[in-house]
Amino acid sequence: MTRKLHLNLFVHGRGHHETAWRHDGATPLALTDISYYQQLAKMAEAALLDSVFFADALALGEEIGHVAKGGLEPVTTLAALATVTERIGLIATASTTYTEPYNLARQFASLDHISGGRIGWNIVTSWVQGAGPNFGYDQQIEHAERYARAFEFLEVVTKLWDSWADDAVLDDRVSGRYADPERIRRIDHAGRHYKVAGPLNLPRSPQGRPVFVQAGSSTTGRRFAAQYAEAIFTAHLEKETAIAFYEDIKTHAAALGRRPGQIIILPGLSPVIGSTEEEAHRIWRDLNELSDPKVGLARLSNRFGGHDFSHLDLDRRLSVDDFPDPVRVQAAQSRAQVITSLVARERPTLRQLLHSLAGARGHFTVAGTPERIADIVEDWFRSGAADGFNIMPPILPSQFTVFTEQVVPVLRKRGLFRTEYEGSTLRERYGLERPASQFFPGPRRAGARGSVSPRGPANEDASARKSPVTEAV
Ligand SMILES: Cc1cc2nc3c(=O)[nH]c(=O)nc-3n(C[C@H](O)[C@H](O)[C@H](O)COP(=O)(O)O)c2cc1C
């Protein structure tokens, strides 16, 4: 089978560029207007993209005076998108650090039911500094501790999603049996961070579990990704580092007994598209010229866990000595690494660095014609740097419209991108298997409600039958 490219739309404010919200090509709708997000999801679906994705930060940050942020909460947003779309995958970010596993498992199972199996969960540990104080902590929880919780969190939610067999609901009005309690079980998890009895209080969803998406690329983040991720968002400014990352993840996953094809890797790409190279560069320049160094400095400081850069001259060339060591940063270590590598390689002035981060915060940004964008996509895809891309339009919706109308057809003509949707779930779209329940791995029994059949070994786990569920309320 020929390998097909995957494309995800990353929705962010009125576009990924920091100044996009002031641009004529940006939506006039409020960031709290659901019709804006519905319109984007429908556009992405009409172009046959795999999925749309919403990030989330658990604190407002300090730049609100000059940056358009404060959009809708992603889980709620997906529920509203699921009812106006039919085929496109929907991915929401939710934090393992500041959510309880039982809440999160219910929400994502509900979304997967509502959407007919189109949901992905972007698993994050929440890097923003202001998050801790919003959840009862004096300060942000440290990087290592956040990941320690994340590993256990995944164990718990996975058990919760598996706590119902696919055929547990009978809904048999004649016999009066609604569900088979032998096919629903407690999880009785007791670990260092979480104590959860279970079972979940709703049936297993169409995909069994949402697609596990992950976006942290530090050393610990990669270990986590190799174990759990099924799709990975990542930021690379150079094809070579993207190839090294791709190989590293797939090698680690194989060492853990996973099949490398069951993880798709989607680097970020922010394409500034013009009908000529000059026009594309003019759009990019115009956006950069609107940017405010004070906003850029606040964002840079955030990326480095609150480090102060304000004493640096805007027009002096930077060196890595101006930055804290990325492995000691308590925010997102991988993004700190991307930024310091850029400084080591290009020695930009602070002003130039702020301009390049204003575009897409350290993701790969390129200005060019549709053909040139398609060339880059094809080159990275064929070179083993990517299974597809996380598309981050600098201005929404105008630059996304250009992407769907002028870049996607070129990719299609080159045989890289689909001409019709395959399957109905996000797992099918990404070429991922549906996981069997760890407690009820056998096939569905005839007569059970629903039409989903799990893949997996045919023998039921006898130990799973031992703890019938207590009476549900
Ligand atoms: C495309 C992309 C999207 C991300 N979205 C979020 C997000 O919505 N919320 C968040 O807290 N972190 C987000 N992150 C950051 C990571 O998920 C991760 O929490 C952070 O990078 C810290 O992990 P690390 O030190 O392993 O890189 C995103 C990263 C990438 C590449």
Please tell me the predicted confidence (pLDDT) of residue 272: 98
Tokens of residue 218, six digits: 């530090």
Tokens of residue 160, six digits: 């919760």
Query: Ligand 1 in contact with 272 (CB < 6 A)?
Result: no
The model's pLDDT over 434-452, given as tens digits with 9 standing for 90+, comes to: 999 999 997 777 667 754 4
The more confident residue out of 5 and 62 is: 5
For the CA of 56, the nearest atom of ligand 1: 8
How far is the centre of ligand 1, averaged over its atoms, from the C-alpha of 126 (Å)? 7
- How high does pLDDT run on average in the chain? 92
Query: Ligand 1 in contact with 218 (CB < 6 A)?
Result: yes
Assign 355 to helix, strand or coil.
helix
Query: Ligand 1 in contact with 129 (CB < 6 A)?
Result: no
d(CA 444, CA 432): 20
Q: Judge whether residue 459 has pLDDT over 60.
A: no
How far is the centre of ligand 1, averaged over its atoms, from the C-alpha of 128 (Å)? 9
How far is the centre of ligand 1, averaged over its atoms, from the C-alpha of 127 (Å)? 7
Testing ligand 1's pocket by substitution, the residue of 77, 95, 124 carrying the most ligand atoms inside 8 A of its CB is 124
Please tell me the predicted confidence (pLDDT) of residue 451: 41
Half-sphere exposure of 60 (CA within 13 A, CB side): 8
Query: Ligand 1 in contact with 221 (CB < 6 A)?
Result: yes
d(CA 471, CA 473): 6
d(CA 9, CA 91): 10
Annotate 177-226 with DSSP letters as a single string: EEE-GGGBB---EE-SS-EE----SSPPBTTBS-EEEE---SHHHHHHHH
* Residue nearest atom 8 of ligand 1, based on CA coordinates: 55
* Residue nearest atom 13 of ligand 1, based on CA coordinates: 124
The residues that bridge with 164 in the sheet, in sequence order, are 184
Dihedral angle sign, alpha carbons of residues 193, 197, 201, 205: positive
Q: Judge whether residue 464 has pLDDT over 60.
A: no
CA trace torsion 459, 463, 466, 470 (10° rounding): -90
Please tell me the predicted confidence (pLDDT) of residue 443: 72
* Residue nearest atom 22 of ligand 1, based on CA coordinates: 332
d(CA 31, CA 27): 9
For the CA of 221, the nearest atom of ligand 1: 26
Annotate 307-337 with DSSP letters as a single string: ---TTS-TTSBP-GGGS--GGG-SS-HHHHH
Please tell me the predicted confidence (pLDDT) of residue 134: 96
Assign 123 to helix, strand or coil.
strand
Contact (CB, 8 A) for 158 and 209:
yes
Largest CA distance in the chain: 80
The residues that bridge with 267 in the sheet, in sequence order, are 234
- Residue 307: Cβ within 10 Å count: 15
Mean pLDDT of 139-157: 96
Q: Judge whether residue 466 has pLDDT over 60.
A: no
The model's pLDDT over 369-417, given as tens digits with 9 standing for 90+, comes to: 999 999 999 999 999 999 999 999 999 999 999 999 999 999 999 999 9
User: What percent of the chain is predicted at pLDDT more than 70?
Assistant: 94
The model's pLDDT over 265-307, given as tens digits with 9 standing for 90+, comes to: 999 999 999 999 999 999 999 999 999 999 899 889 988 988 9
pTM of the complete model: 0.92
Query: Ligand 1 in contact with 333 (CB < 6 A)?
Result: yes
d(CA 110, CA 79): 9
Among 1, 5, 24, smallest CA distance to 286 is for: 24
Tokens of residue 302, six digits: 């955030």
